[in-house]
Structure 1
Amino acid sequence: MKKATTNETTFICVKPIIKAEYTIRIVGDSPLLVHAWSEKAKKEMLQAQQGKKLLKKDKVAKNPAGECAEALYWLDGKPDIDYSDWTEDLLHQYGKTARFGFPACAVKAAAISAAYRIGAMKNKVTGNGLFHVFGIDDPEFIEIKTFDESKPKFEMAEDEVKIGMGTSDLRYRPKFYNWYADLRIEYNSGSGMIDLDSILNMIELGGDMCGLGEWRIEKGGSCGKFHVNKNFD
């Protein structure tokens, strides 16, 4: 007997995107150590990749203040001051008046990584699409602020780092104490896949398990730890 065949049509129902936005505040529980790529380092890297040998006459003596200044994310543009001309007094001056940031995507990365590690999601790819994190004035960067506005926002930290082959180097980077940052969260509230409380919990978990910046929690350090101020208005 010949089997009967049926033609079945599958209907796919996709709900419309319902954008929800919220502003939250993260508060640092330990210092934030920042290290943006400096123009000096990028220039030397490019020369090495192009097979150009850095001549002795082109080498610039290490300037701790200049290295610290170039490690900052300047939200309003880096001052037109050469690497060699930076001083601790200039750092102190700009540290009180300038605005500094940190990549907003790092907050989301910490949240996704922490949620994945505790088994709350099967893969990070799905998590990356659940919500988005932006800065308030600049989508790419959150602004790092400090509670004591009478002092510079950061101090210059000196750290010994291993650079391979049993050798060490001294690095000078800005370290923010008593810091906080406001950020904007955007997600699709109509998908039913995640709600605001879960996002806030993920971000807080990221601050506790991963942290931000150099020498952060997930790298075996103690910096960059933060929590979510859920009562922020």
Structure 2
Amino acid sequence: MAALVPAGLGWARCGRHEEVRASGSHRRSSRRRARAVTRPHHEKAPRSNGALERDGILMASVTEGAAIQIDRIAAETVRVPIVGTSPLIVHNFSEKSKRQMLDAQQGRKKLKEVRDPRSEYTAALYRISDPNGDRFGFPVTAFKAATIGAARFYDKSVSMTSLRQFIFMRGILSEADPQQLVEIVGEPRMREDVVRLGGPSRSADLRYRPEFPTWSAVLEVTFVTSSISRQSVLSLIDAGGLGIGVGEWRPEKRGEFGTYAVDASREIEVLS
């Protein structure tokens, strides 16, 4: 007994155990034509400007023969004068300390030496070589870290990750030190401090380090003007000097040294 299937479904009259496709070749050619003009469900037809929309996202397209135009990042470089609001304590890692560390790692026997406080003091200074006489400096990375760290004083819209990409500082490279230094204007003096060493014993020891009672410096700062304004950069430098600081015993390390502020009595020089 034959069963009757609606012709709209594309099937002809057939027997109980076999089915015969009606107009098969005609329907296959129709499907091929449909595939040629049909796009995936997530991909819409091109817009009038040639862009293609996929999953709700407008995909950019480039007209044949047209060049991609990318504008340069707008940046400004300024020289910002700062003045210390508390003494700056400096502690450079001396060559002697590096040698002792290397000897310990290589298993060499440490010979006891007579301690020379004056030599420890002079070795702890950061120096900028100059034909007219060495000048004093401090790592520029410390001032940048203080400026970026000032983001903590503002709301979450000011992130340290973004500021690292928007603000750059440049120092002086010389043969006296492999890192970039900011020149410190001031006269150092030797100070003696009792410190606690690390380890279980927590034994006491003496440290002889340079201190600048009064000091000033000039920071060369480059920032992306499309992302942050000049006034915002100055505010961050000021806040970093107030709450973060640089050097030993700074506010960030529960101290009260190494603080500074933007010097309002001097002009800010725009380099570019």
Whether TM-score is above 0.5 comes out as yes
Given that residues 149 and 160 in structure 2 are in contact (C-alpha distance below 8 angstroms), is that contact kept between their aligned partners in structure 1?
yes
Inter-CA distance 3–39: structure 2 relative to 1 (3 Å threshold): closer
Q: Which secondary structure does the structure 2 equivalent of 1:116 belong to? A: helix
CA shift for structure 1 position 10: 3.6
- Larger CA deviation: 17-26 vs 30-39: 17-26
Listed as ranges, the gaps of 5+ residues in structure 2 are: 1-39, 45-51, 54-58, 62-67, 268-272
Listed as ranges, the gaps of 5+ residues in structure 1 are: 78-96, 147-152
Aligned to 2:184: 144
CA shift for structure 1 position 202: 0.4
Distance in 2 between residues matched to 1:112 and 1:4, nearest whole Å = 43
Which residue type is aligned with residue 108 of structure 1? K
- Larger CA deviation: 6-15 vs 26-35: 6-15
Residue among 109, 112, 120 paired with 1:54: 109
Aligned to 1:193: 227
Distance in 2 between residues matched to 1:4 and 1:116, nearest whole Å = 43
Which residue type is aligned with residue 112 of structure 1? I
**Greater RCO structure (CA 8 Å; 6+ sep):** 1
- Give the TM-score normalised by structure 1: 0.78
Query: What percent of counterpart residues are identical?
Result: 36
Aligned alpha-carbon RMSD (Å) = 2.5
Aligned to 2:7: none
In the TM superposition, what are the counterparts of 1:1-233 in structure 2 within 5 Å?
3=41, 5-6=43-44, 7-8=52-53, 9-10=59-60, 15-50=71-106, 52-56=107-111, 59-76=112-129, 98-121=134-157, 123-135=159-171, 140-146=180-186, 153-164=187-198, 165-189=201-225, 192-233=226-267
Given that residues 212 and 224 in structure 1 are in contact (C-alpha distance below 8 angstroms), is that contact kept between their aligned partners in structure 2?
yes
Distance in 2 between residues matched to 1:193 and 1:76, nearest whole Å = 36
CA shift for structure 1 position 68: 0.5
CA shift for structure 1 position 120: 4.9
Kindly tell me the number of residue pairs found equivalent between the two proteins.
Answer: 203
Given that residues 189 and 211 in structure 2 are in contact (C-alpha distance below 8 angstroms), is that contact kept between their aligned partners in structure 1?
yes
Distance in 2 between residues matched to 1:110 and 1:54, nearest whole Å = 40
CA shift for structure 1 position 217: 1.0
Given that residues 151 and 158 in structure 2 are in contact (C-alpha distance below 8 angstroms), is that contact kept between their aligned partners in structure 1?
no
Inter-CA distance 197–158: structure 2 relative to 1 (3 Å threshold): same
Given that residues 136 and 183 in structure 1 are in contact (C-alpha distance below 8 angstroms), is that contact kept between their aligned partners in structure 2?
no
